[in-house]
Amino acid sequence: MLVAGNWKMNKTPSEAVAFVKELIPLLAGAKSEVVVGAPFVALPGVVDALRGTNIKVAAQNMHYEAKGAYTGEVAADMLKDIGVEYVIIGHSERRQYFAETDVTVNKKVHAAVGAGLIPIVCVGESLEEREQGVTAEIVRRQAKIALIGVDRALLLSSKLVVAYEPIWAIGTGKTATNEQADEVCRIIRGLLVELYDADAAAKVDILYGGSVTAANAKELFAMPDVNGGLVGGASLKAADFKVIANA
């Protein structure tokens, strides 16, 4: 079970450090693996503050090239060098606002793995696609392309995470029903069985992301194929994140 907080474009470096220091005692006995996804400028301070604790650190994005003339971008090795362990890849906001594609997601997955980072690969459909009844096709396509060339050994070592985040439920206050979330996570699990096998598929944490809150986390996480959450707004509130991490 894994709970990852995605802070998005929130918290200055000093605010981020103060916040994780507040989280440390609250999450010391957390039942889940806990990850916090801080903005780039806050990562060094957050990593230092969390050193030796049970809370891991994620970047919210990265570039697929190792170096070069890519103004404003950050490479996987840069993240690894400062102690980051996870990286969120293909978040719907990156796809919607910054021209992320299934192909660039795949490139980033390979770059992350090559640097020793654990990718949290995001997939999910829009409201229009759900209403058209093509959720399964969209999610399977996104996940399948993201994993082209990814070795089975990576899954067996639990070094890959997939997050189902329906675009229509992110930041809207709308949440997929427990059954809807579990159904799509099961579709993703089934695809992993097809691409690899049941043993490899069972080692992958499949998270639900889409307005996860302290109020709904326990029931969501109780669903058979939901292995935790990618948490947005609620991860910015220490008390709420504590409840979710123990759900």
As separate numbers, helices (DSSP H) first and strands (DSSP E) second, the chain gives 12, 8
Name the phi and psi angles at 3, rounded to 5.
Answer: -125, 120
Map tokens 């609250």 to a residue: 26
pTM attached to this predicted model: 0.96
Among the listed residues 93, 100, 125, 165, the single catalytic one is 165
* Interval 206-222: pLDDT, tens: 999 988 999 999 999 99
End-to-end C-alpha distance for the chain, whole angstroms: 10
* Contact of 145 with 122, CB cutoff 8 Å: no
pLDDT at 170: 76
* Contact of 109 with 88, CB cutoff 8 Å: no
Whole-angstrom Cα distance, residue 43 to residue 192? 32
Concerning whether 91 is annotated as a catalytic residue, the answer is yes
Domain 2-245: assigned CATH number: 3.20.20.70
pLDDT at 89: 98
* Interval 81-97: pLDDT, tens: 999 999 999 999 999 89
pLDDT at 82: 98
- Closest C-alpha to 108, from 122, 96, 129, 128: 122
Whole-angstrom Cα distance, residue 96 to residue 113? 24
DSSP per-residue codes, 166-182: -GGGSSSS----HHHHH
pLDDT at 127: 87
Q: Taking the alpha carbons of 180, 124, 115, 87 in that order, is the dihedral positive or negative?
A: negative
pLDDT at 176: 83
* Interval 50-84: pLDDT, tens: 999 999 999 999 999 999 999 999 999 999 999 99
Whole-angstrom Cα distance, residue 91 to residue 220? 20
Question: In the chain, what's the furthest Cα-to-Cα distance?
Answer: 48
Among the listed residues 33, 91, 93, 125, the single catalytic one is 91
pLDDT at 60: 98
Give the burial string for 61-85 (b: 16+ CB within 10 Å, else e): bbbbeeeeeeeeebbbebbbeeebe
pLDDT at 173: 72
pLDDT at 234: 95
Q: Domains of the chain: which residue ranges?
A: 2-245
pLDDT at 160: 98
Regions of the chain where pLDDT drops below 70 = none
Whole-angstrom Cα distance, residue 202 to residue 225? 10
